[in-house]
Structure 1
Amino acid sequence: MSRYLYSIVRCLPDPRTGEFVNFGAIAGNPDTGDWSIRQISKVDRIRKFAGTQVLEAAASFLFEVDAEIDQSRSGLEEGLDPLGENWLHDMHRNHRNVVQLSIPGPILADSAEEALEIVFAHLIIDPIAEPRERPVTKYDLNRELRQAYRQAHVAESFVRPRAQIHIGAHVHSSIDFAVANGRTVQLTQAWSFRRAQLDEVSQQVKAWAYAMERLRGGEEARVVDTQNRISTIAHDVDLQVVIATPTTPEQLAAYDEAEQVFAGLNADVHPLEHVEAVGRRAAQLISNLHQQ
């Protein structure tokens, strides 16, 4: 378990009296950026107690927070810093009107959704609330990938995150991890199909696949990492894909289409639960490279 923070969101029809009713909660890990929110499912009691305008203000606040969390998740995929502890403390200090937040407190959990489950079970009355499936982000996948390389004892100097592949004169694509040291032995890309924006994932897979098809076709290519180190790459380079497996019919449909793309590229596909296989394969390829 890890240290998470939580804060309860409250509605106050008259802030001067201090009377409030709980509306929802925010919880997250300031180190990893795993944040989430939850609103109570039954709002009639809040409307009767606080009024429609206060209820709408609280709903609007949580909507804005949710949008900020989504934006931060996208930033994490680009290597930006996560929303930290000060983010939640600042919201607690700055919202002192009809919407207020409790003082942020620590809680032990394995995920933001689990932290919210604990908060709702013990601090917020919402009898018909049901657990929601936690979305899996690219940041989650890449974090586990990096750990898989470490567990397989792949030297940090070989692991090149967020590298760029330049193919021919005009085509280039980003790759989540390239395992390279002058010569590229493995490319790894992570895709989450356990998320809401499935159209976006499908478009990204197709754009990535176009570049990989050009590489597989034998066009001259090179890998450039974030420190501008250049490594050669062969058309038959080991290609690995790690996915967050789909669970809903919509997610399954999106994955079925992507699965055909992965097969056409001769990529090995692993669910997140078996990510350690990618690290072991990289270690084997590096060992073979040293023996040549």
Structure 2
Amino acid sequence: MSKYLYSIVRCLPDPRTGEFVNVGAIAGDPRTGDWAVRRVSNTERIKRFAPNAAIDVTDRFIVRLTSQIAEAREALETSDSLPFDEQWLQRLHHDHRNIVQLSPPAPIVANHAEAALDIIFRHMIIDPASQQRPVTIRKSEVIEDLRKAYVDAQIPAHLLRPRSEVFIGDKLHSNVDIAIANGEVMQLAQGWSFRVTHLDRVITQVKAWGFALERLRIGDEARLVDTEGRLSSVARDVDLQIVIATPETSEQEAAYEEADQVFRMLHAGVHPVEDVAAVGARAAGLVRGIS
């Protein structure tokens, strides 16, 4: 688990009275860029407390915040820069003193930003409707857990090659979430989430990724290129590990069964995200083998 920061978003119909109602929360880890925001699902209590004009103001604020976090998350896929730091949340608290106000940033321990919000909504914001919905876990959250597992396993930082590409033969290439390499790849690791809405997109991505990796397994020449342009060779029998956010609904189960056929074909180790430490431990053994 890691330390996250959070603020509760409040609506004050008349800021002069100081009376407020909690309408949502924001939580994130400034060190990794894992941020999330959530609005209460049960709005009846808010409507009894605040007029529509005040609710509209808070809704627009949360929508704008959600959009900013989504854009930052997409940017993080191609850049290591972290646009939202601890001071950013502090400024939000300081700058919003009218109808919308944020509680002072406070620490909370959780695995992900969404998990932090689950805790906040369970203990600080009473919202029964939101607690009944299926939990969504993003692929980026799975990859962050994978990164932490490597750190916990004390894999040297210079061996970690996140967001690399594997080029196979003359025409194929595929993204790799994290590789352990130093001139030669010791392990390839990929994260997938089956607790998402757009399952068709996940299956398409798994199949495209699997097609490229199948050529590697067959024996086509392959090389890995990391974000700094460093090259490493990839053997056909390279250790391949997959970490997944396991399915919960019948639709998610069906999608996973289809993807699992690809994983089996590639002779990959598959681990639920709750057991991600096993991937780090396996990598540690491989690294010790070359030292």
Alpha-carbon distance, 1:68 to partner: 2.8
Q: Which amino acid aligns with 2:25?
A: A
Q: Distance in 1 between matches of 2:276 and 2:183?
A: 25
Q: Tell me the residue number matched to 1:279.
A: 280
Does 1:164 pair with 2:161? no
Aligned to 1:66: 66
CA separation in 2, counterparts of 1:289 and 1:107? 40
Match of 1:59, SS state, is: helix
Contact residue 109 and residue 115 of structure 1 kept, 8 A: yes
What CA distance in whole angstroms lies between the structure 2 residues aligned with 1:121 and 1:282?
A: 36
CA displacement, residues 205-251 of structure 1 (integer Å, 9 cap, x when unaligned): 12211221222232222111222221122223222111121122232
State the alpha-carbon separation in 1 of the partners of residues 270 and 127 from structure 2.
Answer: 40
Preserved CA contact (<8 Å) 2:6 2:106 = yes
1:142 corresponds to 2:135: no
Give the Cα–Cα distance (whole angstroms) in 2 for the partners of residues 144 and 118 of structure 1: 18
Amino acid of the residue matched to residue 57 of structure 2?
A
Distance 1:209 1:2, change over 3 A: closer
Q: Whole-Å Cα distance in 1 between the matches of residues 281 and 4 of structure 2? A: 31
Mapped pair 1:6 → 2:18 = no
2:50 corresponds to = 50
Q: Deviations over 1:127-186 (max 9, x none)?
A: 666376654333433333334334545443333222211122232222122222222232
Indicate if the aligned counterparts of 2:25 and 2:38 stay in contact, CA closer than 8 A: yes
For residue 39 of structure 1, what is the aligned residue in structure 2?
39
Question: What residue in structure 1 maps to residue 240 of structure 2?
Answer: 239
Q: Take 1:249 and 1:242, find their aligned partners in 2: how far apart are those partners?
A: 20
Counterpart Cα distance in 2 of 1:229 and 1:135: 35
The answer to whether the 8 A contact 1:7-1:101 is kept is no
| TM-aligned CA deviation for residue 96 of structure 1 | 4.0
Task: Return the letter of the residue paired with 1:46.
Answer: I
| TM-score w.r.t. length of structure 2 | 0.83
Q: Whole-Å Cα distance in 1 between the matches of residues 49 and 289 of structure 2?
A: 70
Distance in 1 (CA, whole Å) between partners of 2:128 and 2:161 is 48
Decide whether aligned partners of structure 1 residues 251 and 73 sit closer, same or farther in structure 2, where only a CA change above 3 A counts: farther
Q: Secondary structure at the match of 1:246?
A: coil
**Contact map agreement 1:168 1:219 (CA 8 A) in 2:** yes
Aligned pairs for 1:1-292 within 5 A: 2-15=2-15, 18-78=18-78, 79-81=80-82, 83-98=84-99, 100-111=100-111, 112-113=113-114, 115-116=116-117, 119-120=120-121, 123-124=124-125, 126=127, 130=131, 134-289=135-290
Q: Distance in 2 between matches of 1:51 and 1:216?
A: 62
Q: CA deviation at 1:29?
A: 2.8
Paired positions, count = 289
The answer (yes or no) to whether the contact 2:8–2:26 under 8 Å persists in 1 is yes
Whole-Å Cα distance in 1 between the matches of residues 257 and 232 of structure 2? 33
Unpaired runs of 5+ in structure 2?
Answer: none
Name the aligned partner's letter for residue 72 of structure 1. Answer: A
Instruction: Give 1:270's aligned amino acid.
Output: H
Work out the CA distance in 1 between the residues paired with 2:22 and 2:54.
12
Query: Aligned AA for 2:224?
Result: V
Alignment gaps of 5+ in structure 1: none
Letter in 2 for 1:51: P
